[in-house]
A and B are shown apart, each in its own frame.
Chain A
């Protein structure tokens, strides 16, 4: 059967199980958009290529399936570099297809030509320039395989226009053969035993759970391990929901804006069981002073993460779920043989920290609206399995702190790259992947202005997400640093509460929109928003610009020097 390159590409995407492609056509990708008309694949027409990339990420976050985005060459390709880098940092499986100028004119600075493969090399797990239409099925299979196996990540396929037009003899490869790509799938029994033995001698152990738990779909296994051992669990920004926040063993989020107990428990621990986490600087603070007395068990599917920041005592390369399942078995048999140390003294220390340093803020009845109060109301008035997508900054930290994440895959955010503007498109992608769920974008006013135009996409494509703008009229996190570390010299951080007029803007984009200034209006407005299911909703919450995110570990400081912020009874 003869197919054009374009037809082969679309057919290959279908065979890989692609349900939806986020994209925007243009000159070089035109031939590929033609067979899309006859395909079962849903296409979502975005308003900016960055939106396509973040939507694909949101889709992947929420479903675990690879997100697919397709854009044209040149500026479209460069516009999607940010989502690629974001996905690379957070290990999100993406397959991005870019058009390219005809192969025959590559290198001549043709119209809308750019070196897409060169530009995206450092921000993709791998990328391909197709030079022969006959390679298309093989490359698409390889691309999905690479994106979704091992440590997941983004990949990119660059297809020149003439390659998409030329014809090829259709085939579908049975398997993928990449001699240089063999993700580890063996787990060392000896190391598992070593790990179990170490766990069975620790007096102050903590499970330091990272995003790898979610990637490996290991939340249940993690819960079994924690419950069996009674070891407390912290969940990093990338792992929120991997272990239920309302679980008795959960200490919440560690790190620069983690809660006091999670930070301090890691710091005081004698054993860290790092599961799919990478000792990110936002978690460790000053590395040399991080968890100084702790032995380390480090489990990661990426061998390069082991020993990158901190040398572990027990290094285990492997898929988190398989490793944890093996650990559960080893722990069970170890528990039968030996008496494990009593963790009651450790827990009583932890409970003291929890009592003295809970997350804390005060909402005065007539006072300015506190962002934390808005988030708690959103949480309490929305279904338990609501998906929350955030941007980057203060609102992200408050959302992570105050939303009780009890289910995996309900928290969608940009962790490693810290991409402002992530929230709205990521929420759209998550809603496309999980249409039955309520999806709230919790966004800042600064972030919202970066990608809000995708609400046009949401309206046009009938993707009814909800957006809560925590509008404090500032680039709030930057303002917080200037207040705390630059002697209140505020440089270029003021935005304005009403320029733009968010309600009018949202309405112009086909959304229902509300504005809330007073605490008593928060709940009724959220209820109204939750009742709207046929179009996107935006609420402009005017929040207190003075509110800062606490606790806080200042940049470069040791986690032992965490600033707890206000406490209910003045503990210090």
Chain B
């Protein structure tokens, strides 16, 4: 993942205007949001925001402290890339006539993706993956001709602690 990006997992009260407060804070303090995803959590009183911040433009300690001052912000966890599982969803409409379709389907299936819509001269594919993986997917789709592409921004959760010693082995083998 990008060198200076920090993932903040921010638990907020599920109330009107919270996104606006968070976004406004970033604007006011001159911080840059690289990507942002918001969704309800298992508890309907709260939502979780996954904010990816550019650490070069935004001193991460200040970002966290200022976010903490927002009343509806309950908890902030900074997830180091190595301590988090993160995923993102990509939809892309790619030019593909009848001849190219099968190639495209093969390509997308390598990434566990799916074709979700088919037109006369194009198809729309869906791939979920890590941000780096999706970068690779879009590079590989580019030669076909991408007419539209949309990514959701990443969501992330901390890695589970599965015991003290074996944990390290598991982690390093996963990386």
Residues of A within 8 A of B17 (CB): 117-118, 121, 129
CB of B73 within 8 A of CB of A304, answer no
CB of B66 within 8 A of CB of A180, answer no
Q: Which of A121, A304, A308 contacts B21 (CB 8 A)?
A: A121
B68: CB under 8 A from chain A?
yes
Q: Closest CB-CB distance, B47 to chain A, in whole Å? A: 12
A178: CB under 8 A from chain B?
yes
CB of B28 within 8 A of CB of A122, answer yes
**A308 and B62 alpha carbons, distance in the complex (Å):** 7
CB of B74 within 8 A of CB of A179, answer yes
A566: CB under 8 A from chain B?
no
Interface residues in A, total, Cβ within 8 A: 17
A127-148: CB near B (< 8 Å → 1, else 0) gives: 0010000000000000000100
A31-59: CB near B (< 8 Å → 1, else 0) gives: 00000000000000000000000000000
A303: CB under 8 A from chain B?
yes
CB of B61 within 8 A of CB of A118, answer no
Q: Closest CB-CB distance, B75 to chain A, in whole Å? A: 8
CB of A304 within 8 A of CB of B13, answer no
Q: Closest CB-CB distance, A77 to chain B, in whole Å? A: 16
CB of A122 within 8 A of CB of B74, answer no
A194: CB under 8 A from chain B?
no
CB of A178 within 8 A of CB of B62, answer no
Supposing A303-B65, A304-B65, A304-B69 touch, asked if A180 and B13 sit within 8 A by C-beta, the answer is: yes
Q: Closest CB-CB distance, B57 to chain A, in whole Å? A: 16
Q: Which of A118, A122, A146, A308 contacts B71 (CB 8 A)?
A: A146
**A412 and B21 alpha carbons, distance in the complex (Å):** 30
Q: Closest CB-CB distance, A307 to chain B, in whole Å? A: 6
B43-87: CB near A (< 8 Å → 1, else 0) gives: 000000000000000000110011011111110000000000000
Q: Closest CB-CB distance, A134 to chain B, in whole Å? A: 16
CB of B69 within 8 A of CB of A302, answer yes
Identify which of A125, A180, A307 gathers the most chain B CB atoms within 10 Å of its CB: A180
**A303 and B61 alpha carbons, distance in the complex (Å):** 10
Residues of A within 8 A of B65 (CB): 303-304
Identify which of B13, B24, B65, B71 gathers the most chain A CB atoms within 10 Å of its CB: B71
Residues of B within 8 A of A307 (CB): 61-62
B20: CB under 8 A from chain A?
yes
Supposing A307-B61, A308-B62 touch, asked if A180 and B20 sit within 8 A by C-beta, the answer is: no
**A322 and B77 alpha carbons, distance in the complex (Å):** 29
CB of B70 within 8 A of CB of A180, answer yes
Q: Closest CB-CB distance, B113 to chain A, in whole Å? A: 38
Residues of A within 8 A of B72 (CB): 180
Residues of B within 8 A of A180 (CB): 12-13, 70-74
Chain A stretch 111-129: residues in CB contact (< 8 A) with chain B: 117-118, 121-122, 125-126, 129
Chain A stretch 144-203: residues in CB contact (< 8 A) with chain B: 146, 178-181
CB of A181 within 8 A of CB of B62, answer no
Residues of B within 8 A of A308 (CB): 62
CB of B28 within 8 A of CB of A181, answer no
Give residues in A with beta carbon < 8 Å to B: 117-118, 121-122, 125-126, 129, 146, 178-181, 302-304, 307-308
For the complex of A and B, list the 3 residue pairs with the smallest distance between their C-beta atoms, beginning with the closest: A304-B65, A126-B71, A180-B74
Give residues in B with beta carbon < 8 Å to A: 12-13, 16-17, 20-21, 24-25, 28, 61-62, 65-66, 68-74
Known: A180-B12, A304-B65. 18 other contacts (CB 8 A): A117-B17, A118-B17, A121-B24, A122-B24, A122-B25, A122-B28, A126-B70, A146-B71, A178-B71, A179-B74, A180-B73, A181-B71, A303-B68, A304-B62, A304-B69, A307-B61, A307-B62, A308-B62
19 contacts between A and B (CB under 8 A): A118-B17, A121-B17, A121-B20, A121-B24, A122-B25, A122-B28, A125-B71, A126-B70, A126-B71, A129-B17, A178-B71, A180-B71, A180-B73, A180-B74, A181-B71, A303-B65, A304-B62, A304-B68, A308-B62
